[in-house]
Amino acid sequence: MKTHKNLYYKIISLKNLILAHKKARKHKIKKDYVIKFEENLAYNLKILHDELKNLTYFPKHLETFILRDPKTRRISKADFRDRIVHHAICNIIEPIFEKIFIYYSCANRKNKGTLFALKKFEKFQRKVTSNLSKQAYCLKADIKHYFREVDRDILIKILRKKIKCEKTISLIKLVLNNSLDKKGMPLGNLTSQFFANVYLNELDYFVKYKLKSKYYVRYVDDFIILHDSRGQLEKRKQDICGFLKKELKLELHPDKSKVISLSKGVDFVGFRNFYYYRLLRKRNIKSMFLKTKSYNKGEISKDKFLEIFQGWNAYAKWANSYNVINSLIKRVS
């Protein structure tokens, strides 16, 4: 396996920091913290570069808040200059790991995403059912409290398989340990999204090459395996539980991980997927209706609501959602 040394000076180079700044400011150019940082952009980037070069860089404390949308999540927001460092790290090490990720790992990757995962699920569903003509099953699984339960020491061991640069590893540790929690990764950081794929790449290899699961798709910690035998999927579920516990110190969510008939519909990447049609999740519809209610009360500006609606509509159109969208539009004051 090819390993990589001397990555640190590529990460902290001014050229890479300039690129990282451009990525960090994307869609946020009107934010006060971006405007303030860019008032003395060259100076601020040079100071950041010097701190990284002299090994005196230390991230600021994360700003943590609770988001209910409608699921309750604890989001950790990094300072803008720290987000530049996150992008700088990912700019250099992401291409290294991208080469070893399996094709059907779909989250937070270029030219992938929820729609890609959805299309692969449909493709596999047709194959395993001989074009929807026979019975087949799906192991629909979800890892319990994934981001909160990631073992940082195990993650570092996985990263060391490819990265032999101690200064890079030390910088990654700084980012990972910038939390009051003793384990896990802060939800909301770019690095957390990337490391989530690195960590579960171990699971991908186990499922694809050890268990030889032909029809497997993963989106972050949500994954499906299709097979024409319920018994085979029950066995693989137990094998996966054992692997996760032993190798990654994780466990499947007991309520969200089960073998079901494909004909009854599968909840995956935001949709309830049936043989001949697709519906939005009820909580997704509820969330959008609540935002509409907030807009009508004047709690959300017109520009913000249009931004939210356009994003939601682009997602909702992949379901059989004509009536839902029309009902939503009628409720807008």
Greater confidence (301 vs 241) lies with 241
Whole-number Å distance between alpha carbons of 145 and 44: 37
Contact assessment for residue 165 and residue 6, using Cβ atoms and an 8 Å cutoff: yes
Give the pLDDT mean for 257-280. Answer: 93
pLDDT, one tens digit per residue, over 26-37 is: 989 999 999 999
Which residue has 């540790």 as its token pair? Answer: 173
For residue 324, the model assigns a pLDDT of 87
Query: H-helix or E-strand containing 309?
Result: helix 302-316
Quickly state the pLDDT bin for 70 (edges 50, 70, 90): low
Greater confidence (186 vs 202) lies with 202
Phi first, then psi, for residue 125 (nearest 5°) are -60, -40
CB count, 10 Å around CB of 21?
Answer: 23
Contact assessment for residue 262 and residue 138, using Cβ atoms and an 8 Å cutoff: yes
Task: Return the structure tokens found at 320.
Answer: 């059989």
| Angstrom distances, CA of residue 178 to CA of 170, 315, 320 | 12, 34, 43
Predicted model pTM: 0.91
Whole-number Å distance between alpha carbons of 299 and 314: 23
pLDDT at 67 over 80: no
Give the pLDDT mean for 157-179. Answer: 95
Collapse the DSSP code of 144 into the 3-class scheme (helix H, G, I; strand E, B; otherwise coil) and give the result: coil
Query: H-helix or E-strand containing 215?
Result: strand 215-219
Whole-number Å distance between alpha carbons of 315 and 279: 11
Task: Return the structure tokens found at 155.
Answer: 């993650």
Whole-number Å distance between alpha carbons of 289 and 283: 10
Give the pLDDT mean for 64-74. Answer: 72
Q: How much is the mean pLDDT over the chain?
A: 93
Quickly state the pLDDT bin for 249 (edges 50, 70, 90): very high
Handedness of CA 311, 314, 317, 318 (dihedral sign): negative
Task: Return the structure tokens found at 7.
Answer: 């990555």
Quickly state the pLDDT bin for 187 (edges 50, 70, 90): confident
Quickly state the pLDDT bin for 69 (edges 50, 70, 90): low
Whole-number Å distance between alpha carbons of 100 and 201: 8
pLDDT at 206 over 90: yes
Percent of the chain with pLDDT over 90: 72
Give the pLDDT mean for 204-216. Answer: 97
Q: Which residues, in sequence order, are CB contacts of 99 under 8 Å at separation 6+?
A: none
For residue 66, the model assigns a pLDDT of 78
Closest CA to 166 of 55, 307, 292, 88: 55
pLDDT, one tens digit per residue, over 294-319 is: 889 888 888 888 988 888 888 888 89
Give the pLDDT mean for 8-13. Answer: 97
Q: Which residues, in sequence order, are CB contacts of 240 under 8 Å at separation 6+?
A: 141, 203, 206, 207, 211, 252
pLDDT at 68 over 80: no
For residue 98, the model assigns a pLDDT of 96
* Burial call 237-270: b when 16+ CB within 10 Å, e when fewer: beebeebbeeebebebeeeebbbeebeebbbbbb
Give the pLDDT mean for 30-56. Answer: 95
